[in-house]
Amino acid sequence: MTSGRSGDGAGTDRRDGGPGAATRRGGISEGGAAPVLSLRHAAFGYGDRTVVSEVTLDVAPGEVVAVLGPNGAGKSTLVKGLLGLAEHTSGQMRLFGTPAAELADRTRIGYVPQRHTLTASVTATAAEIVGIGRVPHIPWWAPWRALQRENRDIIDGALATVGLAEHARDDVATLSGGQQRRVLIARALAAQPDLFVLDEPTAGVDTGNQQILAAVLGRLAEQGATLLIVTHELAPLAGLVTRAVVVRGGRVVYDGPPDDLPAQERGGDHHHDEPPESHERASTPVTMLPEVRP
Ligand SMILES: Nc1ncnc2c1ncn2[C@@H]1O[C@H](COP(=O)(O)OP(=O)(O)OP(=O)(O)O)[C@@H](O)[C@H]1O
């Protein structure tokens, strides 16, 4: 199997392209592409506690997947499992065609955590925060490369993609919450990952900022990025999401086109995944059982 970074040579230099450039340039998405992510009966949890189980899922390069479900369903645990932030307790997990345990370079996944903004105690410009995303790409023996034009262009490009070019030199503490989220998306973008994982990017921001964030994600998708977006509501991301995965009671209960999602799974009611699973699962219609994709 090939991978986006080293497959056929097309993916070895991604500097002149956006996210997923390797994929677009023809390596892996055409003819027998390795899934970016492949799970088989996978379970994730914390310590002795399994939170999500029996997850079977393939995500192809360029897909924009919304992970939906009520509070406490296990959405964040699922994506944290991909990042090694929750334990992978059973089943198989491959990332970029490689068994996850053998994947040396986790920076290939760009993560924007849930409800994360930057506090006033951080004294840094937006460009400096975005520059953190470049750290894995700067060899320890050549720190001056951080100052080279090529590196600065990537940082400026990431800020432009999220619509914050004019705020590059601003102290992040002076930016709004929605703008700070976009700085964090730009930081992930600057790392040039092969998969973006965003946990609730549109939660807690006003409608105007939700639209801006959705436009930013749309731009990434147009550039060929593979996106896994945890969200409560599909509405702010409608038109962008190509596939919906619903987690309920620690199980994937729907995997398919967003247009076919039953209204009650589109989100927005912010109900909690309680009382216990047995009740939730009993109420799950048979038609909601996994529609596992090839
Ligand atoms: N670090 C942790 N240690 C132990 N249990 C945890 C941890 N993080 C989450 N959990 C538990 O895992 C369950 C699922 O939480 P998770 O955050 O994955 O759900 P979610 O669907 O993302 O919810 P929300 O929409 O509220 O973010 C919850 O019962 C939660 O208490």
Q: How far apart are CA 78 and CA 170, in angstroms?
A: 35
Express each pLDDT in 186-218 by its tens digit.
Answer: 998 888 888 999 998 887 777 887 888 888 889
Q: Cis peptide leading into 276, omega within 30 of 0?
A: no
- The residue type of 51 is V
Residue 142 lies in a domain: no
- Binding site membership of 190 for ligand 1 (Cβ less than 6 Å): no
CATH number at residue 45: 3.40.50.300
Residue 79 lies in a domain: yes
- The residue type of 269 is D
- Binding site membership of 81 for ligand 1 (Cβ less than 6 Å): no
CA within 13 Å, CB half, 276? 1
Helix (H) or strand (E) holding 173: none
Q: How far apart are CA 101 and CA 275, in angstroms?
A: 35
Residue 89 lies in a domain: yes
Residue 204 lies in a domain: no
| Whether the model pTM is above 0.80 | no
Whether residue 10 is predicted with pLDDT greater than 50 in this model: the reply is no
CA within 13 Å, CB half, 50? 14
Express each pLDDT in 261-271 by its tens digit.
Answer: 877 777 665 44
**Is 61 in contact with 36 (CB distance < 8 Å)?**
yes
Q: Which two tokens stand for residue 157?
A: 């490009």
Q: 54 lies in which domain range?
A: 34-108+230-257
Q: Which two tokens stand for residue 40?
A: 């088989």
- Binding site membership of 219 for ligand 1 (Cβ less than 6 Å): no
The pick from 53, 71, 77, 229 for probing ligand 1's pocket by mutation, whose C-beta has the most ligand atoms within 8 angstroms, reads 77
- Binding site membership of 74 for ligand 1 (Cβ less than 6 Å): yes
Complex ipTM more than 0.90, yes or no: yes
Helix (H) or strand (E) holding 270: none
Residue 272 lies in a domain: no
Q: Cis peptide leading into 285, omega within 30 of 0?
A: no
- Binding site membership of 71 for ligand 1 (Cβ less than 6 Å): yes
Atom of ligand 1 nearest to the CA of 114: 27
Q: What percent of the chain has pLDDT over 90?
A: 36
For residue 225, give the 3-state DSSP assignment: coil
Express each pLDDT in 213-238 by its tens digit.
Answer: 888 889 888 888 899 999 988 888 88
Residue 211 lies in a domain: no
Residue 95 lies in a domain: yes
Q: How many domains does the chain have?
A: 1
Residue 224 lies in a domain: no
The residue to which tokens 């027998």 are assigned: 32
173 φ/ψ angles, rounded to the nearest 5 degrees = -65, -20
